[in-house]
Amino acid sequence: MTDPKIADVTYIEPINDNIITEIIKKEKPHALLPTMGGQTALNCTLKLNQKNILKKYNIELIGVTIHAIQKAEDRNLFEKSMKKIGLKTARCGIVRTIQEANNIIKKIGFPCIIRPSFTMGGSGGGIAYNDKEFQQLCLQGLEQSPTNELLIDESLIGWKEYEMEVIHDQLGTCIIICSIENVDPMGIHTGDSITVAPAQTLSDKEFQKMRNASIKVLKEIGVQAGGANVQFAINPKNGEMVVIEMNPRVSRSSALASKATGFPIAFISAKLAIGYNLNELKNNITGIQTPAAFEPTIDYIVTKLPRFNFEKFHNCNDRLTTQMKSVGEVMAIGRTFQESLQKAIRSLEINSSGFDITLRNQKYQENLSNYKKKIQYELTKAGPERLWYIGEAFRLKWTIHIVNQLTNIDIWFLYQIKEIIDIEEKTKKLKLHNLNYFKLKELKSKGFSDLRIAQLICQKEHEVRNYRYKLKLFPVYKRIDTCAAEFFTDTAYMYSTWEDECESLPTKNPKKIIILGSGPNRIGQGIEFDYCCVHAAQALRKDHYETIMINCNPETVSTDYDMSDRLYFEPITLENILEIIRIEQPQGIVIQYGGQTPLKLAKYFQKYKINIIGTQPKYIDIAENRKKFQNIVLQLNLKQPKNDTANNIKDALKKAKEISYPIIVRPSYVLGGRDMEIINNEKDLKKYFLNHTCFCNNQEILLDQYLEKAIEIDVDAICDGQNIFIGGIMEHIEQAGIHSGDSACSLPTYTITKEIKNKIRKQTKKLAIKLSVLGLMNIQFAIKKDIIYVLEVNPRAARTVPFVSKAIGLPLVKIAMRVMCGISLKQQGYIKEIKPKYYSVKEVVLPFNKFLNVDPVLGPEMRSTGEVMGIGKNFSYAFYKAMLSISAKIKKFGRVLISLKKSDEKSAVQIAIKLKKLGFKLDSTNDINKILKNSGIFTRLVSTQNERTLNVYNLIQNKKYVYIINTDINKINSKKYNKICKYALKYKIHYDTTLNGTLATLISLQHLNEYPILSLQKMHQKI
């Protein structure tokens, strides 16, 4: 959405009322549409209204009124509104203090649900089963809520949960786009739930009752025109229906419903907001045959599974509650629930091909008694793998009734899962030749992949595939058309199934190219790669190629049906891709833009003689293989940190000694620095191997010299085989050793000399040519004492590509895509590197507020879930804007705490002087206090010990600090000093844990309460 060509004027600015006010003053808009930007946009709109900005500048609110937002968001008003139209809500109370909370709980009783007002994804909330949990969650929730307000609900745990996606126009026409049913019962956030569309366990009478209630809710709340969703709970014992909440805007579920039905909810909602009515708009999929007022009908089942990354947050609470913890999701489409469920499992990219948890956790089966206890725990206290443990329960002959009692999942869903397990157990007794055409087709129609069948009958995947081909058993493809095939559609939006009639109708166009998407969002691989896939499709379509997109992520633009010529909503697995290639017969396949997901399949594509467009797998392997890449670096006479590989602890100890500590250790071929650690001594290395036995004995471990206090550099470039075009040289703000995905960075660089940058340019060209890169590449360098070290080369699109493209005003992906199709950089006119006049800073969004017991400390393993961009006339302005965008709040006056590690103590005086000049009062811990005292700077001494007076934790808890600097964090001090960061996070005080981050913050503080704005278009004009 922040591409400069999407809107006439584009601002990459913080979404806060001060910045939006400045944009309103400058642009003088007639109207404001607040319903597309989630809770952030609604909260900002309410603040603008409170400040009288909308009235002052005569701005009309479209799509929804302030009164409607307040009625939907304010629980008292919402409850009264529902009572007025004869609908029930859960008993609840709104509180602003612990005393009020204690009074309410006497009426509501345990268990209860605590939800902070105006937070996203249930942040700060949870379920309290007793008074201790209640007090803890209330304190936490009051801190998290921007209005210091809590909603305490009676528990509906175990009830069934549903959502209705509704669209309403100004004439009063209301249509239901889609019903969505949560497989998981109430008590788990809908974002973390397995969901299906359409709802499966409602009778027609119940559906009609819920449909009518949804329409009544929309009309009562007063949604003028556009999309909204209403959530319901139904008591499975007596059918009692309760309205949970209503969102007067499009939501996460709206994206899912749009992809599930083919009905573009946001697009139609925007049209309705500016005055159109549903009968005036056409259905884009069926064209003129049906209007948008035609309610979608679907003749398939859609299943959504959430994607979790708990392994990134050691010691975190991975149980699922009312606070959302997933980082992404997948969607799968099939003719039955079983087919779509198993396709969704394969789409998750967690090395699961079905109900195969025993392949991943064999140790649990060693003791059957313990294994049963483990299963019971997983079924009762839902975690990220509950679905698989349900399968294990049925494998152990537990009844549907028992599993239903433990999970509260509807017996219809449990029956479906049990049938899959029963089929698996029968299949295990067969040999490949026992599977005739009809038996194999039945397995495939139940969602079994070739790989899963192979696992069950102890064969190889390719043997099952070859046997299936011999039987001439292939999938067919059906179209998503919003009307269950009642009308013809030209729109090629498809999914695979195992019936007789194929609706794919591939063209005979010889110029067709497949683009592989990146699958579910997760830490290390997010929407940056969706951006790349979309730009690749746009470039190819402009050059008259037929584009074919394969992806399974409902949250992305790449899975919009009109983004490519043909869209296959399928898991990104070898089987699914080979089948699409078989019928489409493309000119080639693009694997550079989907992150690590398509790259992992490169060797198989080579084996099957599939033409890969761009850098060839041979060179991708050289870049990723430690020893091969080491040879390239030596041949080019470049420098690398000392490094080696090890296959066991004995080998690792010997090689670590040769490299010399500290070292960075990680498994090979991982995403986002998974299980990457800085190791300081032999004892730590032994501990690392002990804690990671699951992979340390099965795969190669990489050992690298850790370059302390080095500056890390990222370079994004395009190579056409002869020339390179450098998109950007970025300087990381945090030192080397912090994962590049977790480090802020600046373009242009802000401390690197011209001489060093010229050397980097030359080294980039050498590496690109030597590795025969064709298209995009990313190189990471480290600079220590003016010596340049090559850290790694990725011959593909990197996370930084969208950031660089927006900073320099050039679509790097499109340029690279044309290079991959044979149009050189010279032919395209891209020879000279762009040197922007403005600074751009990328800053990361970290999810530590979801895991308050995890050390919120940056390291070599990536943990950020998003990023923002700040733009300014100099580095300090750009960094300040980036800080505003991540909601970092530092007041202009107040008290700052300084606690530095030994190696940072030399900077203590510099930091203190800058803070004093800015007018802050200072506190410091023991060693820093002495250093500053010796330099004539007096600060207040505070203690981390359990003392009543001037105890750091009491001061943080009482919000006596506006900013905390705490670099004294490591494994040894973790209990004492890391606790400071945990408290800062809990009580919403901005903190820095690195020296470079601190220095960047300090130079940006001079701009506090300034709100300069700059559109992307104006910035690009000056380049």
Tens digits of residue pLDDT in 644-655: 988 888 889 999
**Domains of the chain, with CATH numbers?**
91-154 (3.30.1490.20), 160-298 (3.30.470.20), 355-421 (1.10.1030.10), 508-622 (3.40.50.20), 642-703 (3.30.1490.20), 711-883 (3.30.470.20), 891-989 (3.40.50.1380)
Q: Distance (Å, rounded) from C-alpha 149 to C-alpha 141?
A: 8
Question: Exposed/middle/buried for 717, CB within 10 Å: 0-12, 13-18, 19+?
Answer: buried
For position 970, what pLDDT does the model report? Answer: 59
Q: What is the pLDDT of residues 497-507, one digit of tens each?
A: 999 999 999 99
In contact, 181 and 199? CB cutoff 8 Å: yes
Q: Beta strand pairing status for 612-613 and 546-551?
A: unpaired
Chain centre distance of CA 808: 25
Letter for the amino acid at 995?
A: L
Residue for token digits 């998109």?
A: 727
As a whole number of Å, the CA-based R_g of the chain is 29
In contact, 109 and 88? CB cutoff 8 Å: no
For position 944, what pLDDT does the model report? Answer: 83
Letter for the amino acid at 377?
A: Y
CB crowding 951-977: b at 16 or more within 10 Å, else e: ebbbbbeeebbbbbbbbbbeeeeeeeb
Q: How confident is the model at residue 301 (pLDDT cuts 50, 70, 90)?
A: very high
For position 1022, what pLDDT does the model report? Answer: 87
List the one residue out of 716, 745, 714, 722 whose CA is nearest residue 811: 716
Average pLDDT in the 290-300 region? 91
pLDDT score of 37 more than 60? yes
In contact, 111 and 157? CB cutoff 8 Å: yes
In contact, 179 and 202? CB cutoff 8 Å: yes
Q: Which helix (H) or strand (E) holds 226?
A: strand 226-234
For position 359, what pLDDT does the model report? Answer: 66
List the one residue out of 752, 747, 987 whose CA is nearest residue 882: 747
Q: What is the pLDDT of residues 732-747, one digit of tens each?
A: 999 888 999 999 999 9
For position 670, what pLDDT does the model report? Answer: 63
Q: Distance (Å, rounded) from C-alpha 87 to C-alpha 75?
A: 14
Q: Which helix (H) or strand (E) holds 140?
A: helix 131-144
Q: Which helix (H) or strand (E) holds 359?
A: helix 357-360
In contact, 145 and 222? CB cutoff 8 Å: no
For the beta carbon of residue 788, count every other beta carbon within 10 angstroms: 16
For position 859, what pLDDT does the model report? Answer: 87
Q: Distance (Å, rounded) from C-alpha 494 to C-alpha 505?
A: 11
Q: What is the pLDDT of residues 946-969, one digit of tens each?
A: 666 688 999 998 999 999 999 987
Letter for the amino acid at 400?
A: I
Largest CA distance in the chain: 88
pLDDT score of 760 more than 70? yes
pLDDT score of 694 more than 60? no
Average pLDDT in the 191-215 region? 95
Q: Distance (Å, rounded) from C-alpha 529 to C-alpha 572?
A: 14
Q: What is the pLDDT of residues 422-465, one digit of tens each?
A: 999 999 999 999 999 999 999 999 999 999 999 999 999 999 99
In SS3 terms, 927-994 reads as HHHHHHHHCCCCCEECECCCCCCCEHHHHHHCCCCCEEEECCCCCCCCCCCHHHHHHHHHCCCEEECC
Q: Beta strand pairing status for 588-590 and 663-667?
A: unpaired
Give yes or no for a cis peptide into 1012 (omega within 30° of 0): no
Which pair of structure tokens corresponds to residue 863? 């943990």
In contact, 257 and 267? CB cutoff 8 Å: no
Question: Exposed/middle/buried for 199, CB within 10 Å: 0-12, 13-18, 19+?
Answer: buried
Phi-psi region of 887 (alpha: psi -120 to 50; beta: other; left: phi over 0): left
Contacts of 564 (CB under 8 A, 6+ apart): 515, 537, 541, 547, 548, 549, 558
Q: What is the pLDDT of residues 508-530, one digit of tens each?
A: 999 999 999 999 999 999 999 99
Q: What is the separation, in whole angstroms, between the first and last Cα of the chain?
A: 21
Q: What is the pLDDT of residues 397-425, one digit of tens each?
A: 999 999 999 999 999 999 999 999 999 99
User: What is the DSSP code (8-state) at residue 32?
Assistant: E
For position 1015, what pLDDT does the model report? Answer: 95
In contact, 576 and 516? CB cutoff 8 Å: no
Q: How confident is the model at residue 714 (pLDDT cuts 50, 70, 90)?
A: very high
For the beta carbon of residue 991, count every other beta carbon within 10 angstroms: 23
pTM given for the model: 0.94
Q: Distance (Å, rounded) from C-alpha 824 to C-alpha 834?
A: 18
For position 536, what pLDDT does the model report? Answer: 98
List the one residue out of 209, 207, 220 whose CA is nearest residue 179: 207
Mean pLDDT over each residue of the chain, to the nearest integer? 92
In contact, 357 and 350? CB cutoff 8 Å: no
Which pair of structure tokens corresponds to residue 562? 């009109």
pLDDT score of 149 more than 80? yes
Contacts of 531 (CB under 8 A, 6+ apart): 557, 801, 802, 813
pLDDT score of 563 more than 70? yes
Question: At 102, is the secondary structure helix, strand, or coil?
Answer: helix
User: What is the DSSP code (8-state) at residue 191?
Assistant: G
pLDDT score of 975 more than 70? no
In contact, 590 and 532? CB cutoff 8 Å: no
Question: At 523, is the secondary structure helix, strand, or coil?
Answer: coil
For position 75, what pLDDT does the model report? Answer: 81
In contact, 812 and 718? CB cutoff 8 Å: yes
User: What is the DSSP code (8-state) at residue 483?
Assistant: B
For position 124, what pLDDT does the model report? Answer: 79
**Which strands, in side-by-side order, build the sheet including 512-516?**
476-479, 492-497, 566-569, 546-551, 512-516, 588-590, 612-613
List the one residue out of 820, 979, 844, 839 whose CA is nearest residue 899: 979
Q: Where are the beta strands (DSSP E) in 211-299?
A: 226-234, 241-247, 282-283, 287-291
Letter for the amino acid at 688?
A: Y
In contact, 270 and 188? CB cutoff 8 Å: no
Q: Distance (Å, rounded) from C-alpha 336 to C-alpha 334?
A: 5
Q: What is the pLDDT of residues 575-591, one digit of tens each?
A: 999 999 999 999 999 99
Beta-bridged to residue 711, according to DSSP, are 783
Q: What is the pLDDT of residues 595-610, one digit of tens each?
A: 999 999 999 999 999 9
pLDDT score of 3 more than 90? yes
Q: Distance (Å, rounded) from C-alpha 431 to C-alpha 671?
A: 37
Residue for token digits 């030749």?
A: 433
For position 360, what pLDDT does the model report? Answer: 60
Average pLDDT in the 106-123 region? 83
Which pair of structure tokens corresponds to residue 864? 């950020």
pLDDT-above-70 percentage for the chain: 97
Which pair of structure tokens corresponds to residue 102? 């204690």
Q: Distance (Å, rounded) from C-alpha 552 to C-alpha 572?
A: 7
Q: Which helix (H) or strand (E) holds 3?
A: none
Q: Distance (Å, rounded) from C-alpha 820 to C-alpha 211?
A: 50
Q: What is the pLDDT of residues 531-560, one digit of tens each?
A: 999 999 999 999 999 999 999 999 999 999
In contact, 280 and 239? CB cutoff 8 Å: no
List the one residue out of 962, 963, 923, 957 whose CA is nearest residue 943: 923
For position 693, what pLDDT does the model report? Answer: 62
**DSSP code string of 530-550:** HHHHHHHHHHHHHTTPEEEEE
Q: What is the pLDDT of residues 820-839, one digit of tens each?
A: 999 999 999 999 999 999 99
Q: Which helix (H) or strand (E) holds 150?
A: strand 150-154
Question: Exposed/middle/buried for 5, CB within 10 Å: 0-12, 13-18, 19+?
Answer: exposed
Q: How confident is the model at residue 692 (pLDDT cuts 50, 70, 90)?
A: confident
CA 864, 572, 314 angle in degrees (round to 5)? 30
Which pair of structure tokens corresponds to residue 762? 């030359």
Give yes or no for a cis peptide into 847 (omega within 30° of 0): no
Which pair of structure tokens corresponds to residue 705? 């010299």
Q: Distance (Å, rounded) from C-alpha 305 to C-alpha 307?
A: 7
List the one residue out of 262, 264, 354 whose CA is nearest residue 300: 262
